[in-house]
Amino acid sequence: MKIIEVENLNFSYSEEVKTIQDVSFSIEKGTYTTIIGHNGSGKSTIARLLAGLLEKESGTIKIDGMELNMENLPKIRNRIGIVFQNPDNQFIGSTVRDDIAFGLENHCVPQEQMDDIINENAARVRMTKYLDKEPTHLSGGQKQRVAIAGVLAMKPNILIFDEATSMLDPQGKDEIKKVIMDLHKEIGLTILSITHDIDEVAHSDYVLALDSGRLAMQGTPHEVFADERKIRAIQLDTPFSMKMGDFLHQHGVEVEKHLTMEGLVKELCQYRSNM
Q: Do 46 and 82 form a contact (C-beta atoms < 8 A)? A: no
Q: Which of 3, 6, 32, 44 binds ligand ATP (CB under 6 A)?
A: 44
Q: Angle at the Cα of 161 (from 242 to 141), degrees rounded to 5?
A: 90
Contacts of 102 (CB under 8 A, 6+ apart): 92, 93, 150
Closer residue to Mg ion (CB): 44 or 241: 44
Binding status of residue 90 toward ligand ATP by CB under 6 A: no
Q: Which of these, 100, 101, 96, lies nearest to 134 by C-alpha position?
A: 96
Least Å distance, CB 27 to ligand ATP, is: 18
Closer residue to Mg ion (CB): 32 or 161: 161
Least Å distance, CB 42 to ligand ATP, is: 4
Binding status of residue 42 toward ligand ATP by CB under 6 A: yes
Contacts of 77 (CB under 8 A, 6+ apart): 51, 52
Closer residue to ligand ATP (CB): 19 or 90: 19
Binding site for Mg ion (CB under 5 A): 44
* Residues that contact ligand ATP, how many (by CB under 6 A): 10
Binding status of residue 193 toward ligand ATP by CB under 6 A: no
Least Å distance, CB 131 to ligand ATP, is: 32
Closer residue to ligand ATP (CB): 15 or 256: 15
Closer residue to ligand ATP (CB): 40 or 188: 40
Per the rule left: phi > 0, alpha: psi between -120 and 50, beta: everything else, 227 is: beta
Concatenated DSSP letters of 74-115? HHHHHHEEEE-S-GGGG--SSSHHHHHHHHHHHTT--HHHHH
Least Å distance, CB 227 to ligand ATP, is: 20
CA distance 206 to 201: 8
Q: Do 79 and 50 form a contact (C-beta atoms < 8 A)? A: no
Q: Which of 3, 4, 23, 37 binds ligand ATP (CB under 6 A)?
A: 37
Among Mg ion, ligand ATP, none, what binds residue 58 when CB lies within 5 to 8 Å by partner kind? none
Among Mg ion, ligand ATP, none, what binds residue 103 when CB lies within 5 to 8 Å by partner kind? none
Contacts of 73 (CB under 8 A, 6+ apart): 52
Binding status of residue 33 toward ligand ATP by CB under 6 A: no
Q: Do 110 and 146 form a contact (C-beta atoms < 8 A)? A: no
Binding status of residue 40 toward ligand ATP by CB under 6 A: yes
Binding status of residue 195 toward ligand ATP by CB under 6 A: no
Least Å distance, CB 33 to ligand ATP, is: 15
3-state DSSP call for residue 6?
Answer: strand
Q: Do 59 and 252 form a contact (C-beta atoms < 8 A)? A: no
* Residue numbers at the binding site for ligand ATP (CB under 6 A): 13, 19, 37, 39-45
